[in-house]
A and B are shown apart, each in its own frame.
Chain A
Amino acid sequence: MFLAPFGVLFAAMYAVPVGYAIVESLHKMQRSGLGLTPPKRVYAGFENYTKALHDDALWHGVGRVLLFGAIQVPVMLGLALVLALLLDAKSARLKGFFRTAYFLPYAIPGVVATILWAFLYMPRSSPVVSMLDAVGLPSDFLGEDAVLWSIANVVTWTWTGYNMLVIYSALQAIPQELYEAAELDGCGPWRTAWRIKVPLVAPAIALTTVFSVIGTLQLYTEPRVLRPLTSSLDADYTPIMSAYHKAVENNDYGQGAAVSVLLALGTCVLSFAVLKISARLTNGRSSL
């Protein structure tokens, strides 16, 4: 009974859309002749799934975001942890200001952030590129090899502050007595940070890791915004872009839905794996 409001919301916001996607993924449009008469929607079984699993471009996209995640997530979380520890240090000054400053990029919508960075990446308009050129370091931020890391830079810029705040909040929750005890035992600030603080915020780090992994698999906004500016970003550069390309640009909603469902399953599996691993690493201390 008391669960009714939750149940209704859950059904409307979660179950219905997911159910709709699954239903769509099991259908296709049937046409005949040159296709000049309106198509009929028919049941297709797992045809859309078989097609998606045999789509090389989709697998390339998956490989790309996995590579992206393997590099970008540790770098970003490492930065976030260091910044959080610095803010939490006894000697830190202007805490409020820095906390806000680091967090600020998160408040800027991803599209706008990417447009801002785009102006620094574009070969002819960017002051950064012309500066690097002047000192003999020609650079092409939107080139085939660099563009993935240019995107990683935007994502890192946007999300480091957010992750820092999560870790910082965990740091704040550590009881003061522990520090006093550590000090009595002769721990310096470095040792305290490494031996006391980091292990105690491990659950928070695990949480941000899971969020970041999910975010990585859903990479869309940044490459989509940069796409018109360079020939390095294909219509199916990331798995989500691929789903969009199939559903909307190819107008094949069944295919798009199948890719989305597969992606959702993959994300589920991967985030649970990350969760399990981190739980083991933190000796089951993870509160998740």
Chain B
Amino acid sequence: MWASTRRGRQTARRAAVAVTVAALTALTACGSDSGDKKDGADKAAQGDKASGGTAQLDFWGWNPAYEKAVSAFNASHPDIRVSYNKVEPGSKGGYAKMLAAVKANNAPCLAQMGYETLPSFLVEGALQDVDKEASAVKAKYSAGAWSQMSVAGKTYGIPVDTGPVAMFYRTDVFAKHNLTPPKTWDEFARQADTVHAADPSVAYSAFGGNDPWWYAGMAWQNGGSWFKPEGETWKVSMTEPGTQKVTQYWQQLLDKKAVSSDPTFTPDWYKRFGDGSVASYVGPVWFTALLEENAKDAAGKWAVAPMPQWDAGGKVTGNIGGSGTAVLKGCKNTKAAVAFADWMSSDPASLTTLVKDAGIYPAATAGATLDAMQQPSAYFGNAKIYDIFKDSAAQAPTGWQWGPTMTQVSADLTDRVGKAGAGNGKLADALTGVQGTTIKAIQDKGLKAAAG
């Protein structure tokens, strides 16, 4: 199994990364058991402290820029030694591997974790609370991001980045049709009609329906929250009024075929961003790095504008993704773990690396004044794109709450919203369906759940 995994990596071209990564997910998740066990044995032998009085920490994540941050940390902190292990992106297998490792008692101390998944890990009993160690550094982080690493008043790690949303658009296509970036969603829909009428082969924008957190990000902007702990019961409301409005809006655009509904993050998808057959995308800050890497030829043709608004003159945005460094169950040296996680999320040199290489938006408030965030971006026609994300980050509503079974929600949203986006069924039915499967999944866990 491992042989095929390796081989897959070497053979597939760079453009195929999305396919490969997804493809190998399951294999790495279940195929690496023996390797994990060995790591665990080594770790047990080392104990908390190695012979030289150095604290040993394992850290699993998928952000390629973390590797650099870790080596910088090791170079400047002789008393703590962090070893970084790259795993598949969370929902593509990384989380499964982490949960399996916790179950087998050989989990790493630290793990990269999307905010949406944190409560799910808590429900599996896979997190270690670090209130005591973390409270000293709390003031460094934006309140919104900090709250995403906490559940019911307890903190389980340090936030790294948030995913403020803006609108990416092709300047050449917009110029051709005499368009300026839309201020409102109404204008967005009108422009979509204009472009579709003029040239049906060009999609005005891309519906990211099979990316569950994209859909959540759109709902996030409109004031809804899909989950709410009420007493002892999880309330699930993917059909609340705010989300419904978003659902009906995108349904109309899809019905008119004015937006593309291709599966996201595939080679095909990026191809359209490169050749201009998709003219815009409402997406998160980290999409800047993906666009740069996967649509190299389109350098200078993409620009960034603020997220369209539901009300003219409104200033509300959404959030897509963002993650923190969580402390997993069984971590013995939580002090060193928090020290490293805090350093990676707030040290200026570390943040500069993460901003430049991974396009993150720092959760640390000092990150906003970072030099790297003032620099013009060559790919985006030398515009200072981070100014827009800075505004967006400040405008995202903070009340959003995630549920206890997000890996299931992720799979179900991907399946059902993806299908509806492709024209098989309606979005509203998809959302109602996922709400049903989610309530059932929470109940299957032995917890109380209800619609509302």
Q: Which residues from 1 to 27 on chain B have a C-beta closer than 8 Å to any C-beta of chain A?
A: 3-5, 7-8, 11-12, 16, 18-20, 22-27
The digit string for B390-424, where 1 denotes a CB below 8 A from any CB of A, is 00000000000000110110111011001101101
The one of A31, A124, A229 in contact with B445, judged by C-beta atoms closer than 8 angstroms, is A31
Chain B positions within 8 Å of A37 at CB level: 125
B152-188, CB under 8 A of A: which get 1 and which 0?
1000000000000000000000000000000000000
The answer to whether A119 touches B16, judged by C-beta atoms less than 8 angstroms apart, is yes
Give bound CA distance, A50 to B409, whole Å.
Answer: 23
Note all chain B residues with C-beta closer than 8 A to A220: 26
Q: Which residues of B contact A138 (CB under 8 A)?
A: none
Check if A228 sits within 8 Å of B265, measured CB to CB: yes
Residues of chain A touching chain B, judged by Cβ–Cβ distance below 8 Å, are 28-39, 51, 109-112, 114-115, 118-119, 122-125, 144, 220, 224-225, 227-232, 234-235, 244-245, 248-253, 255
Measured CB to CB, the residues of B under 8 A from A are 3-5, 7-8, 11-12, 16, 18-20, 22-27, 29-30, 96, 99-100, 103, 120, 122-125, 151-152, 210, 229, 232-234, 262-263, 265-268, 271-272, 329, 404-405, 407-408, 410-412, 414-415, 418-419, 421-422, 424, 441, 444-447
The 3 nearest A-B residue pairs measured at CB: A38-B125, A109-B4, A231-B418
On whether the beta carbons of A235 and B415 are closer than 8 Å, the reply is yes
Known: A36-B151, A39-B123, A112-B4. 4 other contacts (CB 8 A): A38-B329, A115-B12, A228-B23, A229-B19
Q: Are A111 and B27 in contact (CB under 8 A)?
A: yes
Which residues of the other chain, B, contact A255 by a CB distance below 8 angstroms?
444
Complex contacts, A230 vs chain B, CB 8 Å = 263
Q: How distant is the Cα of A144 from the Cα of B424 in the complex, in angstroms?
A: 9
Residues of B near A250 (CB, < 8 A) are: 405, 407-408, 441, 444
Q: Which residue in chain A gives the minimum CB-CB distance to B11? A: A112
Cβ contact of A231, chosen from B120, B329, B421, cutoff 8 A? B421
**Residues in B whose Cβ lies below 8 Å from that of A30:** 446
B103: which A residues are within 8 A, CB to CB?
253
Choose among B23, B29, B408, B445 the residue that contacts A111 (Cβ–Cβ < 8 A).
B23
A231 and B29: CB pair below 8 A?
A: no
Q: How far is the CB of B107 from chain A (nearest CB, A)?
A: 14
CB distance from A236 to the nearest CB of B (A): 9
Q: Bound complex: CA of A252 vs CA of B441, how far in Å?
A: 10
| Alpha-carbon separation in the docked complex, A275 to B446 (Å) | 43
Task: Tell me whether B152 and A112 are in contact (CB under 8 A).
Answer: no
Docked Cα-Cα span, A33 to B123, in Å, equals: 10
A31–B415 contact, CB under 8 A? Answer: no
A34 & B267 in contact (Cβ 8 Å cutoff): no
Q: Complex: how many Å from CA A48 to CA B26? A: 23
Q: List 16 A-B contacts (CB under 8 A).
A: A31-B447, A32-B447, A34-B232, A36-B123, A109-B8, A115-B8, A115-B12, A122-B268, A124-B272, A228-B19, A228-B22, A231-B263, A231-B422, A244-B30, A249-B408, A250-B441
